[in-house]
Amino acid sequence: MAASCESSETSESTLRRRRGEPQSSEASSDDGNAETTHEGDASKYEKRHQFSLQPGTYWLTRVVLLRAIAFIYFVAFGVAYCQNRQLIGERGLMPCKDYLRSVKRYVGGKIGLAALAYTPSILWFLDWEDMDTNLDGIALVGLALSGFVLLSGRANMVIMALLWILYHSLVNVGQVFGCWESQLLETGFLAIFLCPFWSLAQLPQRCPPSLISIWTFRWLIVRIMLGAGLIKIRGDRCWRDLTCMDYHYETQPVPNPISYYLHRSPWWFHRFETLSNHFIELVVPFLTFLGRRMCMVNGILQILFQVMLIVSGNLSFLNWLTIVPSLACFDDASLAFLFRRSEGGTRHMVQKIQEEEASGQSPPRTKGMLIRRVLNVSLAVLIGYLSVPVVMNLLSPRQVMNTSFDPLRIVNTYGAFGSITKERTEVILQGTLSADPAAPGAVWEEYQFLCKPGNVKRRPCLISPYHYRLDWLMWFAAFQTYEQNEWVIQIAGRLLADDSAVLSLMDHNPFLGREKPRWIRGEHYKYKFTVPGGPGAAQGKWWVRKRIGSYFPAVNLTSLRGYFQSRNWPHPDIQ
């Protein structure tokens, strides 16, 4: 009955409209409300879709990639500016001037193509009289350029090429103090081809992001993850029996406070972590080739995986850097949420570009655009050619990791933690004022590094993405011998001389404000995390340690004279 009444009222209203007769106030009100509701819904729909982007373009992807790469460069150049003088400067532990001279002798005594091919660096062409100024200058220019790109999201090929050349110049004279440099250099090289040659426009319409360039980044993340996964499966047995994570948090190079708690996770959680690691590194990368949605799934999982690694350890900027190529798995539609919905903003401009392309209003093709296409194809051919030995290495049962097959490190092999140390050992440097180091009453006092474990009551540091290069290298030295790491003796000599450069790399100098130590020795200890809530933790200890033995015997400046002379090192007391 109610239905028939509503039907008759509707029919009457319709007839009145057709005759042009006035409607009742109630009917008019109902119709007005309906129209208002319809207009409101339409308005909401328009607002919601005003700045919606279509998939398949990569304008925003380019902006995000450039800013991410610039961030890593900024951190890397910052590390170089803060530490290069002490490590490879005029009075550094391993002066790069001496290294360049040895390379020059090796290639025949001339600075030519042979020298450049062996050690690509602009330092060859600078004045060597003040190498510290050269190193600082390169780092400061790198900081300025990367800071500009990071803040503005704008770059061109010239800027990105300069950043690559500048960082190459530092890496190639860094000697043993390198870390994940090849990966940054390859990523930086690919970034050059993301940009227009000269324009600094954020959205240069005559230079759209090349799909080839995007795929070079995707190919990079595939190789990084497969390399890391395969080296584990072929390496330490604990990766196959799923027990590696029982040790990793405690024995990784530089643990952080969260590592302390994760180490005590239940056994089943560690097994799950190891299985997840294999899945992320060996299976997920292949999603890249299964269409847009699956490629995005790969990107999301890779980024989440790297975030977990960042949270659980201090692996310098490695994991931050690995996030960068994962960003290429996303197009404008999927990255739009990172940009504001504002008229005239970047997101709005991309939508306008998409609409113009859809209506056939793309900018006319020019000679420059044709040259750019040739350049992009050339990049694809180059990366394909240089990838051949890298792929062969991935397929080889004798796989090597973190190796370059070309001097410019354009395409490299990658991998990490192919073997896991089951016990954590540390080298502890100690000094004494005693005239006789063997005297029972000799008091040995410990130096503390900036981040690596030493004092058992000091909380593990949290520094990622920053990187203390010497602390990192001391981790390797601890499971080798001082004969394999002669720079450790160089440190001992510098500490005997109270050298300010080396002491600036220390957190604690026990002889500050006192006379210089007479003897320095290296002690070898085994470290283990205390149990949270246990007796050790109740005493404020993060670690417990046990002495293994002597790492190197007690030395003084007199006993080191012959050692330094045989290696052409300047004696510490005359620097």
User: Is the CB of residue 478 less than 8 Å from the CB of residue 469?
Assistant: no
Q: Exposure string (b/e) for 470-506, b if CB count within 10 Å is 16 or more?
A: bbbbbbebbeeebeebebbbbbbbbbbbbbebbbebb
Using 50, 70 and 90 to split pLDDT, how confident is the model at 381? very high
Which structure tokens are listed for 355?
């609409």
What's the CA gap between 543 and 425, in Å, rounded?
12
N-terminal to C-terminal alpha carbon distance within the chain: 107
Q: Three-state DSSP class for 147?
A: helix
Amino acid at 35: E
Residues 6+ apart with CB under 8 A from 119: 99, 100, 103, 172, 173
**Whole-number percent of the chain with pLDDT over 90:** 75
Calculate the CA 48 to chain-centre distance: 36
Q: Which residue has the tokens 């350049």?
A: 375
In 357-444 the beta strands, taken as DSSP E runs, fall at 424-432
What is the predicted pLDDT for the residue at 13? 44
pLDDT confidence of residue 51? 57
More confident site: 97 or 46 = 97
Looking at residue 24, what is its pLDDT? 46
Give the confidence band of 39 by pLDDT, cuts at 50, 70, 90. Answer: low
Of the pLDDT bands very low, low, confident and very high (cuts 50, 70, 90), residue 21 is very low
Which whole number is the average pLDDT over 115-128? 93
Q: How far apart are CA 239 and CA 243, in angstroms?
A: 6
Residue in 134, 175, 180 with CA at minimum distance from that of residue 490: 175
> Of 421 and 8, which is predicted with more confidence?
421
Q: Which two tokens stand for residue 66?
A: 């450039």
Tell me what the pLDDT averaged over the chain comes to.
89
Query: What are the tokens at 383?
Result: 């990366």
Going by pLDDT thresholds of 50, 70 and 90, the confidence category of residue 33 is low
Average pLDDT, integer, range 400-426: 91
In angstroms, the CA 438 to CA 553 distance is: 11
Is the pLDDT at 556 greater than 50, yes or no? yes
pLDDT at 284 over 70: yes
Residues with Cβ within 8 Å of 6's Cβ and at least 6 positions away in sequence, in order, are: none
Please report the pLDDT score of residue 574 as a whole number. 57
Mean local confidence (pLDDT), 398-410: 89
Q: Name the band, by pLDDT with cuts 50, 70 and 90, for residue 476.
A: very high
What percentage of the chain carries pLDDT values higher than 70? 91
**303/474 Cα distance (integer angstroms):** 29
Residue 508 is given by DSSP the state E
The helix/strand/coil state of 568 is: coil
Strand ranges inside 336-439, DSSP E: 424-432
Q: pLDDT tier at 366 (50, 70, 90 boundaries)? A: confident
The answer, yes or no, to whether the previous bond of 465 is cis (omega within 30 of 0) is yes
Sign of the dihedral through C-alpha 195, 196, 197, 202: negative
Name the band, by pLDDT with cuts 50, 70 and 90, for residue 32: low
Residues in the chain: 575
pLDDT band (50, 70, 90) for residue 557:
very high
Mean pLDDT of 491-512: 94
If pLDDT is split at 50, 70 and 90, which confidence band does 368 have? Answer: confident
pTM reported for the whole predicted model: 0.89
Structure tokens at 64: 């995000």
Token digits of residue 179: 């870390």
- 376, 193 contact by CB (below 8 A): yes
pLDDT tens-digit series, residues 234-270: 999 999 999 999 999 999 999 999 999 999 999 999 9
pLDDT of 35 > 70? The answer is no
Reported confidence tier of residue 40, pLDDT bands at 50, 70, 90: low
Tokens standing for residue 212: 């080839």
Residues 6+ apart with CB under 8 A from 169: 120, 121, 122, 123, 138
153-173 pLDDT, tens digit per residue, is 999 999 999 999 999 999 999
Cα dist. 538→188, 275, 524, 532, 535 in Å?
Answer: 47, 34, 26, 8, 5
What backbone phi and psi angles, to 5 degrees, belong to 541? -95, 135
Query: How large is the average pLDDT for residues 43-53?
Result: 57
What residues are paired with 402 via a beta bridge? none
Paired residues of 430 in beta bridges: 446, 521
Give 49's pLDDT tier (boundaries 50, 70, 90).
Answer: low
Per residue, what are the HEC states of 189-233?
HHHHCCCCCCCCCCCCCCCCCCHHHHHHHHHHHHHHHHHHHHHHH
Q: What tens digit of pLDDT does each residue of 168-180 get?
A: 999 999 998 887 7
